[in-house]
Structure 1
Amino acid sequence: MASVELRDLTKRFGPVTVVDNVALRIDHGQLVCLLGPSGCGKTTTLRLIAGFLEPTSGEIHVGDRLVSSAARTLPPEQRKMSMIFQSYALWPHMTVAENITYGLRLRKMDRDTIGKKLKSILQTTKLEALAERYPGELSGGQQQRVALARALVVEPETLLLDEPLSNLDANLREEMRFEIRRLHDEYRYTTVYVTHDQSEAMTTADMIAVMNGGKIDQLGTPEDIYDRPQSEFVARFIGSSNVIKGVARDENHISFSGATLRVVGAKLAANQDAAVAIRQHDIQLSTSAPASADNTVKATVTRQVFLGANRDYVVETADGTTLRAVTSPQTAVPAGTEVWLTLPPERCRALIR
């Protein structure tokens, strides 16, 4: 296994910059997710790591080897990497066993070694009973396991996954998230996993790099990214936070819709424009004024939807700001009702704008 390091990596297609000066270190044995919306540069970054694309500038190092630069790019077959694509790319005319051992046969390993490695990986990926079937006879989840087995059996230094679960239904996606994490914990290959699905990233990753516009907007553990977003983009993309715009009174208070809110997170400067994130389920909604006016804002319900386990409200404050609040399902507050929103200060996170 080896670390992967991107140093000021940039990729342009004509006048368009797709990957913009990205710096990232992935320690060996670590699983890092590149997470972001379509067009953010995550798949291009993965293809640069794999060697399918040459960088415009910057470098990629694997361990102590320089594998990519603007002057020289090592071809994919010399990088000791395995890649799993969205389409799985299984050979339809080969059985499961033949697909899995294809890379071993290319390496001209002897029959006994291939047999031992095949038996071991079939057991690990729970494919023993399917070894003689063809891809067309398998479910989507089974095909995904075959693709994983084929990638792992050659013992790569680095494993690359390009949205590997996007073709599966919701239940299979959830199952395979945990399977990918289980296999990673067993083999501990350095892994780069591209996805637009935050649940996949939260389930599988040691670290998440949230990408936006070709740059890494924030890098951190799943807990860091979810609980401590640093930018408006990350706050909205991860967990769909409300973002409140106000004016700072001092380093940890803002004025918003006639109220003063105490906040945590980025330190503010008096009179600067400020953005504060709070998640929908952290807002407390009441039809009567609370005993304390601290971090309380008046609003009017504009929509209410029953979702079984909770109710989803859209409310509008006096300054026209629209917020969403998720509450328990017991009490329904109809549209047009005046309510009070309590925003716990420890859940109001000032963002770096």
Structure 2
Amino acid sequence: MSSVTLTNVGLTYPDGTVGLDGIDLAIADGEFVALVGPSGSGKTTLLRAIAGFLRPTAGSIHLGEALVADGSTLVAPEKRELGMVFQQHAVWPHWSVERNVAYPLRLAGVAKAERQARVAEVMALVGLEGFEKRNPATLSGGQRQRVALARAIVGRPRVLLLDEALSALDEPLRDSLRLELQTLTRSIGLTVVHVTHDRDEALALADRVVVLDGGRIQQVGTPPELVSTPASPAVATFLSDATVFTGVLHAGVFSASGHGCRVGVDDLELGGAGEGDGSIAVLPEDVTLTPGTGATVTSSLYGRGSNDVVVDWNGIAVRCRVPGRRPLVGEAVDVRVERAMFYPRAAAAQPVGTPA
């Protein structure tokens, strides 16, 4: 197992497109880190740089103490002792499950007896004990993805890289494999870097989540940190479907620009946030709806724990999570913001005031 350290990593393509910009990230030995962000944010580019498929044009990458990439060095992917699982499992259909899983060991020249023992070990780990002689065509999609995972870890990699590894699977199989993946990687102490477009998956699996946009890291933190104290309105919107109001905070009242929405000091837990131009971010679970005339329900979707509701509040679409009865589309309601975060326009990424 190994740590991963990226120091001021940049990657600019020949046409001038910036893929990564100033990436500083330290992943501890045995840590599970998820990379998330909108399309084109750089998450897959970052994973491919760690894997060795792309060379940084600036900065350096270390696996443990070993330098594997910088401006003049590029250790080939096959020399980095990494395991990798892709969205499409790439299990070879003309080979048995056992031969698929043993392939990395055969390439490494591992003796037959040890190959068989290690294949049996990982097959048991991924829940496919007894499937060694099966043809991959006879397996379900989830079973084939387990084969791909077994093949990735049979060589005892320093780091396991997952590139949308579960996204091609249907629920509830996908949810089941999430649980199995977490249990497996924890049990053998694997360092994992997982790229996913599924925010819930990232928050559920990872020790820390890295939010990227425009090739830059926007925030790194534990799932509770990211959800409760997002570093910017963009992070709050991407990770938690926050509603962002732009306007002015003055004398304890936030007034949204161009709208009649005013959020009073009694509604905000801002601490010493200061005043002036800026934005507030309001998480869906921090909005309460009551009977009234201030807003209109425009969307209402049933959920097991709470209903996902959108209301039009003086021209601002406010997303809410409402327990109990599901409001009807067209229903008139009043909106109360129970908690919000203020981000002064001139401030850096970190919010000046966060909820108590």
Q: Shift in Å at residue 53 of structure 1?
A: 0.9
Q: Shift in Å at residue 154 of structure 1?
A: 0.5
Instruction: Find the counterpart in structure 1 of residue 354 from structure 2.
Output: none
The CA distance in 1 between the partners of 2:303 and 2:38, in whole Å, is 29
Equivalent positions of 1:143-182 (< 5 A) are: 143-182=144-183
CA 1:78 to 1:333, structure 2 compared with 1: closer, same or farther past 3 Å?
closer
The CA distance in 2 between the partners of 1:304 and 1:214, in whole Å, is 34
CA 1:177 to 1:87, structure 2 compared with 1: closer, same or farther past 3 Å?
same
Contact kept, 8 Å, 1:254 with 1:263, in 2: the verdict is: no
Instruction: Find the counterpart in structure 2 of residue 305 from structure 1.
Output: 300
> 1:3 and 2:3 equivalent?
yes
Instruction: Find the counterpart in structure 1 of residue 321 from structure 2.
Output: 326
More moved, 112-121 vs 145-154: 112-121
Instruction: Find the counterpart in structure 2 of residue 86 from structure 1.
Output: 87
CA 1:188 to 1:266, structure 2 compared with 1: closer, same or farther past 3 Å?
farther
The CA distance in 2 between the partners of 1:229 and 1:266, in whole Å, is 16
Instruction: Find the counterpart in structure 2 of residue 219 from structure 1.
Output: 220
Instruction: Work out which of the residue numbers 262, 283, 287 in structure 1 matches 2:287.
Output: 283
Structure 1's unaligned 5+ residue stretches are 289-297
The CA distance in 2 between the partners of 1:334 and 1:167, in whole Å, is 33
Listed one character per residue, the Cα deviations across residues 239-281 of structure 1 (whole Å, up to 9, x for unaligned) are 211122231226x76344244245346964422x222222223
Q: Residue type of the partner of 2:312?
A: E
Structure 2's unaligned 5+ residue stretches are 350-356
> 1:341 and 2:341 equivalent?
no
CA 1:123 to 1:314, structure 2 compared with 1: closer, same or farther past 3 Å?
closer
SS in 1 for 2:165: coil
The CA distance in 1 between the partners of 2:204 and 2:263, in whole Å, is 38
Instruction: Find the counterpart in structure 2 of residue 293 from structure 1.
Output: none
Listed one character per residue, the Cα deviations across residues 308-348 of structure 1 (whole Å, up to 9, x for unaligned) are 65544433334x322122323437466263x322221xx31
The CA distance in 1 between the partners of 2:289 and 2:98, in whole Å, is 58
Q: Residue type of the partner of 1:221?
A: T
Q: Residue type of the partner of 2:100?
A: N
Q: Residue type of the partner of 2:12?
A: R
> 1:314 and 2:310 equivalent?
yes
Instruction: Find the counterpart in structure 2 of residue 207 from structure 1.
Output: 208
Equivalent positions of 1:249-288 (< 5 A) are: 249=250, 254-256=254-256, 257-261=261-265, 262-264=267-269, 268-271=273-276, 273-287=277-291
Listed one character per residue, the Cα deviations across residues 111-147 of structure 1 (whole Å, up to 9, x for unaligned) are 2211221221111111113211122221110011111
Q: Residue type of the partner of 1:317?
A: W
Given the two structures, how large is their TM-score scaled by the length of structure 1? Answer: 0.89
Contact kept, 8 Å, 2:62 with 2:69, in 1: the verdict is: yes
Question: Aligned residues: percent identity?
Answer: 36
CA 1:77 to 1:258, structure 2 compared with 1: closer, same or farther past 3 Å?
closer
SS in 1 for 2:264: strand
CA 1:340 to 1:39, structure 2 compared with 1: closer, same or farther past 3 Å?
same
Q: Residue type of the partner of 1:229?
A: P
The CA distance in 1 between the partners of 2:188 and 2:87, in whole Å, is 22
Given the two structures, how large is their TM-score scaled by the length of structure 2? Answer: 0.88
Q: Residue type of the partner of 2:55?
A: E
The Cα RMSD (Å) is 2.1
Listed one character per residue, the Cα deviations across residues 184-207 of structure 1 (whole Å, up to 9, x for unaligned) are 111112111111111211121111
SS in 2 for 1:170: coil
Listed one character per residue, the Cα deviations across residues 284-317 of structure 1 (whole Å, up to 9, x for unaligned) are 11125xxxxxxxxx72214253526554443333
SS in 1 for 2:20: strand
SS in 2 for 1:161: strand
The CA distance in 2 between the partners of 1:331 and 1:219, in whole Å, is 35
The CA distance in 2 between the partners of 1:111 and 1:331, in whole Å, is 61
The CA distance in 1 between the partners of 2:271 and 2:47, in whole Å, is 31
CA 1:164 to 1:253, structure 2 compared with 1: closer, same or farther past 3 Å?
same
The CA distance in 2 between the partners of 1:154 and 1:76, in whole Å, is 14
CA 1:143 to 1:266, structure 2 compared with 1: closer, same or farther past 3 Å?
farther
Aligned residues, how many? Answer: 338
Contact kept, 8 Å, 1:248 with 1:268, in 2: the verdict is: no
Q: Residue type of the partner of 1:242?
A: T
